[in-house]
Amino acid sequence: MHKPADMTLWQGRLDSEEGALARRWHERLQALHEGAPAGVALLGFASDAGVQRNHGRPGAKEGPVAIRRALANLAWHHDGHVYDAGDVHCVDDQLEAAQAELGRQVAHLLAEGHFPLVLGGGHEVAYGSFLGLARFAELQGQRPPRIGIINLDAHFDLRAGERGSSGTPFRQIAEACAKNQTSFNYLVFGISEPANTAALFHRARELGVQWHGDEACGSENLESLLDALAFFVDEVDWLYLTVCLDVLPAAVAPGVSAPAAYGVALPVVEALIDAAKASGKLMLADIAELNPSFDRDGITAKVAARLAWRLAR
């Protein structure tokens, strides 16, 4: 179920004595309307049904509101338009319906010329996001663009199972690609070996997944990580970037279902995001797994807002 933007969330400090250059997000962001000039469209996915199915800690359905509130007071350094496109809500356990609706909303935003920035929500958001991009790709003619997925995550999220969850989205995407006879192009940065079973590594190899473990994602290896990202980008036409906040160390992102004991440092995560943006191929991004119930002093919400701020520039 999609609900329009709640603009009462966008409140913050006013520095009117500093003039127009002192504007903040809550003063500049607008509710999305039909015919709006192309811009960044924030779309919430209020769901933790997938997290619960994956036996995780619920609370991520409150993530979109928490990210908006943290974004509202950030300084405005943007040239283009940024809109609030409302939220897709998962009602009860109707995850598949919510993912389908998210796909419809993402495809519509893309068709209108916007850059969808989806705010989760559990990482089940990824399957819905991809459905929207794939739907839009089908409209591009006889040769649909090759889609590449870059995931910043401690987990592969390739689990088996009859029902989708926050642990299955990329296995579901791989199956959808096989059904549609399109390539499955998937690159992950930040994989935690202790947090992924041997079965998941085996499945990743079978599916041709490329990955870099968390221990290999230190700042001393940043150049080689950026080279790997650039090589991956060269092989695809469009990029979908998904950021699971549990890729970050628990001290930086405590408010997630599964905090990382090791994690990837925020400067490395931001450098990878910047490189994906700079490629000119980024069509869609989402930020997943913020769980305000387990956050401390809004730390994780602030980090998520900072990443959204960066993606929207």
* Contacts (Cβ under 8 Å, ≥6 apart) of 96: 164
Contact call for residues 312 and 119 (beta carbons, < 8 A): no
Per domain, the residue ranges of the chain are: 2-312
Beta carbons within 10 angstroms of residue 100's beta carbon? 16
Contacts (Cβ under 8 Å, ≥6 apart) of 250: 259, 260, 261, 263
Which of 48, 80, 51 lies closest to 64, judged by CA?
Answer: 48
Tens of pLDDT along 8-55? Answer: 999 989 887 776 788 899 999 999 999 999 999 999 999 999 899 999
pLDDT tier at 62 (50, 70, 90 boundaries)?
very high
Give the annotated binding-site residues for Mn(2+): 123, 153, 155, 157, 244, 246
Q: Which of 32, 45, 31 is nearest to 130 (CA)?
A: 45
Question: Which CATH architecture describes the domain 2-312?
Answer: 3-Layer(aba) Sandwich (3.40)
Tokens at residue 25, please?
């997000």
CB 305 within 8 A of CB 70: yes
- Among 13-27, 94-108, 176-190, 236-250, whose mean pLDDT is lowest? 13-27
Tell me whether strands 39-46 and 282-288 are parallel, antiparallel or unpaired. unpaired
Q: pTM of this prediction?
A: 0.97
Listing DSSP states for 76-113 in one string gives: ---SSEEEEEEEEE--TT-HHHHHHHHHHHHHHHHHTT
- Over range 253-260, report the average pLDDT: 97
Is 265's pLDDT higher than 80?
yes
Q: What residues form the annotated binding site?
A: 123, 153, 155, 157, 244, 246
Q: How far apart are CA 242 and CA 150, in angstroms?
A: 6
Digit-coded pLDDT (tens) for 116-136: 999 999 999 999 999 999 999
Residue 303: what pLDDT? 99
What 3-state DSSP class applies to 298? coil
